[in-house]
């Protein structure tokens, strides 16, 4: 038996040897033939084009279009190309197509690896790696956009054995064919599309690792009739498959069929996608292709459809951005009725039956019940639609069944970027890849900063349960950044400049959120409110942030602080203010300060005067600024921190890195916020940092945050991109995104331009940097749970409000702008509306004369003319002329006077003292204040008695001076004594009680007014029909009487 086995073995070896010899001889013959008759001829050198060794392969892409109609398809990867062939006209639907269409490719790179042993090449039978750069030229003919396609072929630089350097090939292929020029002897390929150029290390992997290609790339067999990705290039396939080749009226017909409104059937749905619409000629393409294939040899050209996971996400974000813009501009167009309507709605929901009665009697009920729901429904509908779109975004970003599969975004970034690979030597090419990766990730996350819904989605993908599940793009990004920064040599100048830029761009997008997580992760309530995942957050706080800081040579000294006295703290604020106003454009700086310009002329002593009261109350108060250590001076980075007592505080004065600047400023803010929580009924508890310092820090750094975001490439590009989209908001395609009621509404084109150019300048930084605005108010009253909730969801209105107030300020609107109420009352009026103090006649007059009132006159507009119809009122507000703008600010202020109007009750306690009770709505510790002056009464000058003697007058003046001094002292005592400052949780009012001796009180009056926030005065009344400036305003009380 052993002899038989031996004979069989030797026979097999002999056969193998003979076979190899035959193959070698065949390869030699082929090599000689190729040398004598080269087949790789260029098209310019032959007589018959079909003799050229080219198989035309026409790339197209899957494009996501699942945004139209009432019922969307669940997120999924695209079906095979054959699914898109419509066997019966109009028999396809969005569900069958998975929400996709087939379109022309986006600009980028296509990498092709020839597969299999290609025997026609003799000894060179191993397939080559082919690189094509797609650089289309966009042309417009007869008002229609077309595309001149050009695929430039690249090869290794002469003499190079690796992919370190590539260059266009010689001849026509180097100039660019309108398709991929694949050799005719190639029957199988692996192919991948990438928006950005792939690193050379990835190219080596594609070229040499068959298992990698099998796992990571699309495989195409040109000879197969059942390929998932390829189909014969025929005119009927171009016309029937690719949207850009279809007749305009038939483009995206599957998705138009989902629209019930027949008026939208002519909508150009492609116009609102990232690349816009194209109108291509299939006949022209086929004539070119047919000239290159030889029917005698049964040559075939192919259409190959490519995955484009970055493109899917960009189109999703495009729709989200358009909806954000539409909401912004809809609210801007209707800001007047929305703002006044918010006030009326809050009054109508009051538990006070008398208030409800006045609303019923003084508001035009038919108009209100008919048009208010219609006016607010689009905003609610739009928010719901944005949430749906963001759910798609999250699926494509982190779902195992989509993102992690071939064709998914996570699969793409994990396989075609080498950031997570271990490298013996970290090269400049690796650093350039790192920068490209960070830019790409930032562009796919940055738009989330622009709405409340987007911020929640960002928190979910970065710190939610799927962020570390292995299929998340963020998980790949985090580990890739950490791994890249851990290599030796990354701090070298030629490498560091690319890494620094990549890190900075990422921080400019997510720096505020990372800083927040870095401070608040120990708070259980924070995690519970935001549904954060402990391990996901730890990846950030224990891994990502420390690695970034270490790379930059920084270390935040946990538990160590620069302790400043109040005076030292103000020196700190003064110094950083000098830096933070540098680099802020004059227009934005004007917008930031314009709202307060008039207030500086208002007189009066501050009752609380937080900057002094707090310091005087507790000499042991220390403001703790986190310490930072710069550990690597050899990096020669131009960092400048605030120094005091030879200690480096964590406040970054300058760095040249806008993203790092945003992160460090936000970190200090959140650190101050976390130390400032105290009980509302005991605002001066020992060892608690008064909230005032947080508010003053925010006010000081605002300009710096604007500057930081302004110099960010991502933020700046986002604003320009939004401005370009503004003109599309009234287009039928955008209306196809909306519900049936919203799409009938027209936005005012002039306001669109105004708000985009002005307001969106702010949204780029505000949404990222000021998402804590609502939160710090809640922290200020000891409500941690509410504060954490506001951090997550309280920013959408703030973004719009701040953005719009700046836009308004830059448009020369005068005194009276409030950062918090530009779009309505709800943000400003967040307290309990259980009781209000006002004159019932004033309320009746106001309601009858407001936008929604039923009075015969609309006195805010004209006291002489009859009230216009509601239709005419809506028409007038869209003009936004000076008269309407002035009326708006006056009307809004009158409502504010009701909601935030303080009251003074003067009572006799029958024990020889007079009690002054200042009742303050929406009082915010550390920010709200009472301004007052003690003025002489008529009695003090004897004015009540014309015959009073000089002695009697002098006596009165003496008593006035005594009582003035006593009242000032009584105010100080009341502020320092917690028993004199009471907050009523039920009513939402804070009461300050001051006592003076009765015998002196008759000689004085108190002129006073209330500032609940820094740029709002109450009570304040503008003269109707006049410009709303301080010169045309009456403000304050004399005792209990409104001036």
Give per-residue pLDDT as tens, 282-312: 999 999 888 888 766 677 899 999 999 999 9
In this model, does residue 242 exceed pLDDT 80?
A: yes
C-alpha 570: how far from its chain's center?
32
Helix 566-580 vs helix 610-617: angle between axes, to the nearest 10 degrees? 150
Count CB atoms within 10 A of the CB of residue 570.
17
pLDDT of the residue at 296: 64
Q: Give the model confidence (pLDDT) of 478-505 as tens digits.
A: 999 999 999 988 888 889 999 999 999 9
Q: pLDDT-based confidence at 11, cuts 50/70/90?
A: low
Compute the distance between CA of residue 680 and CA of residue 831 in angstroms, rounded to an integer.
14
- Tell me the pLDDT of the chain averaged across its residues: 77
In this model, does residue 951 exceed pLDDT 50?
A: no
Average pLDDT over residues 821-847: 47
The stretches of 534-609 forming alpha helices (DSSP H) are 534-538, 545-551, 566-580, 586-597
Q: Give the model confidence (pLDDT) of 783-812 as tens digits.
A: 333 333 333 222 223 333 333 333 333 333
pLDDT of the residue at 684: 38
Residue 384, both tokens: 């719901």
Query: What order of strands is seen across the sheet that includes strand 166-168?
Result: 166-168, 151-156, 129-134, 108-114, 188-194, 218-221
What's this model's pTM, rounded to 2 decimal places?
A: 0.84
Q: Which residues contact 449 (CB under 8 A, 6 or more apart)?
A: 455, 458, 509, 763, 764, 767, 768
C-alpha 927: how far from its chain's center?
28
678: left (phi over 0), alpha (psi -120 to 50) or beta: beta
Residue 739, both tokens: 């519900």
pLDDT of the residue at 124: 65
pLDDT of the residue at 576: 77
Average pLDDT over residues 96-106: 97
Compute the distance between CA of residue 402 and CA of residue 196 in angstroms, rounded to an integer.
21
Burial status of residue 369 (CB atoms within 10 A of its CB: 0-12, 13-18, 19 or more): exposed
Angle at CA of residue 411, ends 410 and 415, nearest 5°: 115
Compute the distance between CA of residue 128 and CA of residue 121 in angstroms, rounded to an integer.
11
Residue 724, both tokens: 């370009």
Compute the distance between CA of residue 1000 and CA of residue 960 in angstroms, rounded to an integer.
7
DSSP code of residue 77: -
Reported as half-sphere exposure (CB side, CA atoms, 13 A), residue 330 has a value of 25
In this model, does residue 27 exceed pLDDT 50?
A: yes
Report the share of the chain in percent with pLDDT over 90: 34
pLDDT of the residue at 692: 56
Burial status of residue 767 (CB atoms within 10 A of its CB: 0-12, 13-18, 19 or more): buried
Reported as half-sphere exposure (CB side, CA atoms, 13 A), residue 348 has a value of 19
Average pLDDT over residues 328-334: 79
Cα four-point dihedral sign 956, 957, 963, 964 = positive
Strand partners, 101: 63
Report which listed range, 69-78, 305-314, 424-433, is most confident. Answer: 305-314
Q: Give the model confidence (pLDDT) of 670-689 as tens digits.
A: 787 676 543 333 433 333 34
Residue 575, both tokens: 């110094």
Q: Does 384 or 328 have the greater pLDDT score?
A: 384
Three-class SS state of 672: helix
In this model, does residue 16 exceed pLDDT 50?
A: yes
Nearest to 1036 by CA among 1024, 1023, 1022, 1020: 1020
What is the signed CA dihedral for 88, 91, 95, 99, rounded to 10 degrees?
70
Compute the distance between CA of residue 650 and CA of residue 663 in angstroms, rounded to an integer.
11
Average pLDDT over residues 608-624: 62
In this model, does residue 93 exceed pLDDT 60?
A: yes
Report which listed range, 195-204, 554-563, 566-575, 888-897, is most confident. Answer: 195-204
In the block, residue with structure tokens 């699942």: 66
Residue 714, both tokens: 């991502």
Cα four-point dihedral sign 734, 738, 740, 742 = negative
Q: Report the run of H or E that residue 807 belongs to, with start and end.
A: helix 796-810
pLDDT of the residue at 777: 33
Using an 8 Å Cβ cutoff, are 897 and 1018 in contact? Answer: yes
Q: Does 742 or 880 have the greater pLDDT score?
A: 742
Compute the distance between CA of residue 829 and CA of residue 271 in angstroms, rounded to an integer.
41
pLDDT of the residue at 779: 33
In this model, does residue 835 exceed pLDDT 90?
A: no
Residue 530, both tokens: 């935001």
Residue 279, both tokens: 């109108």
Cα four-point dihedral sign 727, 733, 734, 740 = positive
Compute the distance between CA of residue 105 and CA of residue 170 in angstroms, rounded to an integer.
24
Using an 8 Å Cβ cutoff, are 454 and 320 in contact? Answer: yes
Q: Does 579 or 48 have the greater pLDDT score?
A: 579
Secondary structure of 753-775 as H, E, C letters: HHHHHHHHHHHHHHHHHCCCHHH
Compute the distance between CA of residue 1043 and CA of residue 976 in angstroms, rounded to an integer.
29
Q: pLDDT-based confidence at 31, cuts 50/70/90?
A: low
Burial status of residue 619 (CB atoms within 10 A of its CB: 0-12, 13-18, 19 or more): exposed
Q: pLDDT-based confidence at 936, cuts 50/70/90?
A: confident
Q: Strand runs (DSSP E) across 785-937, as ranges?
A: 857-858, 862-866, 903-908, 913-921, 929-936
Cα four-point dihedral sign 85, 90, 92, 98 = positive
pLDDT of the residue at 642: 78
Backbone φ and ψ for 480, nearest 5 degrees, come out as: -65, -40
Q: Give the model confidence (pLDDT) of 996-1015 as tens digits.
A: 888 878 888 899 999 887 66
Q: Which of 175-179, 210-214, 495-499, 541-545 has the lowest mean pLDDT?
A: 175-179
Average pLDDT over residues 760-770: 32
Residue 914, both tokens: 């007079």
Residue 697, both tokens: 């820090």
The stretches of 399-492 forming alpha helices (DSSP H) are 409-416, 428-445, 452-463, 473-485
Q: Which residues contact 54 (CB under 8 A, 6 or more apart)?
A: 43, 177, 181, 182, 183, 184, 292
Using an 8 Å Cβ cutoff, are 1015 and 1022 in contact? Answer: no
Q: Which of 14-18, 353-357, 363-367 has the lowest mean pLDDT?
A: 14-18
Q: Does 186 or 777 have the greater pLDDT score?
A: 186
Q: Which of 590-594, 660-664, 813-817, 898-902 has the lowest mean pLDDT?
A: 813-817
In this model, does residue 635 exceed pLDDT 80?
A: no
Query: How many residues does the structure list for the chain?
Result: 1043
Q: Does 36 or 986 have the greater pLDDT score?
A: 986
pLDDT of the residue at 720: 59
Helix 692-710 vs helix 610-617: angle between axes, to the nearest 10 degrees? 130
pLDDT of the residue at 297: 65
C-alpha 860: how far from its chain's center?
37
Using an 8 Å Cβ cutoff, are 462 and 513 in contact? Answer: yes
Q: Give the model confidence (pLDDT) of 515-527 as tens digits.
A: 888 887 655 444 4
Extents of the domains making up the chain: 1-37, 38-307, 318-599+606-810, 903-1011
With b meaning 16 or more CB within 10 Å and e meaning fewer, what string describes 926-960? bbbbbbbebebbebbbbeeeeeeeeeeeeebeebb
Q: Which of 220-224, 595-599, 712-716, 931-935 has the lowest mean pLDDT?
A: 595-599
Q: Does 578 or 224 have the greater pLDDT score?
A: 224
Q: Give the model confidence (pLDDT) of 545-591 as tens digits.
A: 999 999 998 988 888 888 887 777 777 877 777 766 665 545 444 44
Burial status of residue 447 (CB atoms within 10 A of its CB: 0-12, 13-18, 19 or more): buried
Angle at CA of residue 811, ends 810 and 817, nearest 5°: 75
Count CB atoms within 10 A of the CB of residue 987.
16
Average pLDDT over residues 340-368: 90
């Amino acid at each position: 038996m052993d002899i038989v086995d031996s004979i069989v073995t030797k026979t097999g070896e002999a056969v193998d040897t003979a076979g190899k010899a035959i193959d070698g001889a065949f390869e030699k013959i082929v090599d000689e033939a190729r040398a004598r008759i080269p087949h790789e001829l260029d098209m310019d050198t032959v007589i018959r084009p079909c003799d050229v060794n080219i198989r035309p392969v026409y790339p197209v892409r899957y494009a996501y279009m699942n945004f139209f109609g009432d019922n969307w398809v669940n997120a999924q990867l695209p079906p095979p190309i054959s699914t898109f062939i419509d066997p019966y006209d109009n028999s396809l639907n969005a569900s069958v197509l998975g929400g996709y269409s087939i379109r022309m490719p986006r600009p980028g790179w296509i990498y092709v690896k020839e597969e299999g042993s290609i025997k026609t090449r003799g000894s060179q039978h191993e397939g080559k790696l082919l690189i094509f750069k797609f650089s289309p030229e966009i042309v417009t003919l007869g008002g229609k956009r077309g595309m001149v396609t050009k695929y430039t072929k690249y090869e290794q630089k002469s003499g190079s054995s690796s992919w370190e350097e590539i260059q266009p090939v010689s001849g026509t292929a180097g100039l660019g064919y309108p398709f991929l020029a694949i050799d005719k002897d190639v029957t199988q390929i692996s192919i991948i599309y990438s928006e950005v150029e792939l690193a050379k290390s990835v190219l080596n992997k594609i070229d040499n690792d068959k298992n990698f290609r099998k796992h990571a790339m699309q495989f195409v067999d040109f000879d197969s009739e059942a390929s998932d990705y390829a189909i014969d290039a025929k005119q009927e396939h171009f016309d029937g498959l690719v949207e850009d080749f279809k007749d305009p009226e038939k483009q995206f017909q599957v998705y138009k069929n989902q629209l019930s409104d027949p008026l939208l059937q002519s909508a150009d749905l492609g116009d609102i996608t990232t690349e816009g619409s194209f109108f291509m000629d299939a006949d022209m393409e086929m004539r070119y292709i047919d000239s290159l294939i030889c029917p005698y040899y049964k040559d075939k050209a192919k259409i190959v459809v490519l995955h484009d996971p970055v493109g899917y996400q960009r189109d999703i974000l495009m729709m989200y951005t358009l909806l954000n813009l539409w909401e912004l501009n809809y609210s801007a167009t209707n800001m007047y009725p929305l703002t006044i309507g918010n006030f009326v709605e809050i009054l109508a929901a009051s538990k006070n039956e008398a208030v409800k009665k006045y609303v019923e009697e003084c508001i035009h009920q038919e108009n209100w019940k008919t048009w208010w729901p219609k006016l607010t429904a689009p905003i609610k509908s739009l928010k719901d639609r944005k949430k749906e779109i963001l759910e798609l975004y999250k699926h494509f970003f982190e779902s195992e069944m989509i993102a992690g599969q071939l064709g998914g975004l996570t699969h793409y970034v994990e396989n075609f970027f080498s950031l997570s690979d271990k490298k013996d030597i970290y090269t400049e090419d690796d650093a350039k890849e790192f920068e490209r990766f960070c830019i790409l990730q930032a562009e796919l996350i940055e738009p989330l900063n622009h709405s409340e819904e987007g911020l929640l989605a960002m928190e979910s993908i970065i710190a939610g349960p799927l962020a570390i599940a292995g299929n998340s793009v963020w998980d790949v990004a985090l580990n890739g950044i950490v791994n890249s920064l851990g290599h030796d040599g990354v701090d070298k100048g030629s490498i560091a400049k690319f890494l620094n830029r990549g890190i900075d761009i990422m921080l400019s997008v997510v720096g505020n959120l990372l800083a927040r997580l870095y401070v608040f992760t120990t708070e259980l309530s924070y995690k519970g409110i935001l549904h954060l995942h402990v391990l996901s957050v730890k990846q950030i706080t224990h891994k990502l942030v420390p690695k970034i800081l270490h790379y930059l040579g920084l270390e935040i000294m946990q538990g160590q602080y620069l302790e400043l006295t109040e005076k030292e703290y103000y020196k700190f604020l003064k110094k950083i203010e000098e830096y933070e106003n540098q680099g802020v454009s004059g227009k934005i700086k004007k917008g930031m300060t314009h709202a307060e310009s008039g207030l500086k002329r208002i007189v009066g002593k501050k009752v609380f005067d937080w900057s002094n009261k707090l310091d005087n109350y507790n000499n042991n108060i220390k403001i703790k600024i986190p310490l930072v250590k710069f550990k690597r001076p050899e990096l020669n980075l131009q960092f400048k921190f605030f120094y005091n007592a030879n200690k480096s505080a964590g406040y970054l004065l300058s760095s040249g890195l806008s993203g790092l600047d945003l992160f460090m400023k936000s970190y200090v803010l959140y650190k101050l916020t976390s130390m400032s929580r105290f009980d509302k009924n005991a605002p001066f508890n020992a060892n608690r940092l008064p909230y005032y310092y947080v508010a003053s820090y925010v006010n000081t750094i605002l300009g710096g945050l604007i500057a930081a975001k302004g110099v960010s490439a991502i933020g700046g590009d986002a604003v320009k991109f939004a401005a370009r989209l503004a003109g599309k908001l009234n287009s039928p395609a955008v209306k196809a995104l909306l519900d049936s009621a919203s799409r009938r509404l027209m936005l005012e084109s002039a306001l669109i331009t105004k708000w985009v150019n002005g307001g969106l300048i702010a949204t780029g930084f505000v949404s990222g940097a000021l998402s804590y605005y609502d939160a710090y108010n809640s922290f200020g009253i000891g409500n941690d749970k509410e504060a954490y909730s506001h951090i997550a969801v309280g920013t959408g209105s703030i973004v719009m409000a701040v953005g719009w107030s700046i836009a308004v300020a830059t448009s020369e609107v005068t005194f009276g702008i409030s950062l918090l109420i530009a779009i309505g009352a709800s943000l400003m009026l967040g307290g309990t509306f259980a009781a209000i103090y006002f004159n019932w006649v004033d309320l009746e007059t106001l309601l009858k004369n407001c936008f929604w009132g039923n009075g015969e006159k609309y006195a805010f507009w004209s006291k002489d003319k009859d009230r216009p119809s509601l239709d005419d009122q809506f028409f007038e507000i869209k003009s936004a002329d000076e008269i309407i703008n002035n009326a708006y600010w006056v009307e809004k202020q009158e409502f504010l006077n009701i909601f935030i109007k303080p009251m003074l009750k003067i009572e006799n306690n029958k024990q020889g003292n007079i009690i002054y009770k200042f009742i303050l709505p929406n009082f915010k510790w550390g920010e709200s204040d009472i301004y007052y002056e003690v003025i002489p009464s008529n009695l003090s000058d004897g004015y009540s008695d014309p015959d009073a003697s000089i002695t009697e007058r002098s006596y009165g003046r003496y008593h006035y001076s005594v009582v003035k001094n006593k009242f000032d002292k009584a105010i100080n005592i009341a502020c320092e004594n917690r028993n004199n400052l009471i907050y009523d949780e039920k009513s939402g009012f804070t009461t300050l009680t001051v006592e003076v001796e009765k015998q002196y009180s008759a000689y004085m009056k108190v002129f006073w007014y209330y500032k609940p926030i820094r740029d709002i005065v109450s009570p304040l009344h503008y003269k109707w029909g006049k410009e709303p400036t301080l010169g045309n305003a009456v403000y304050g009380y004399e005792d209990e009487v409104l001036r």
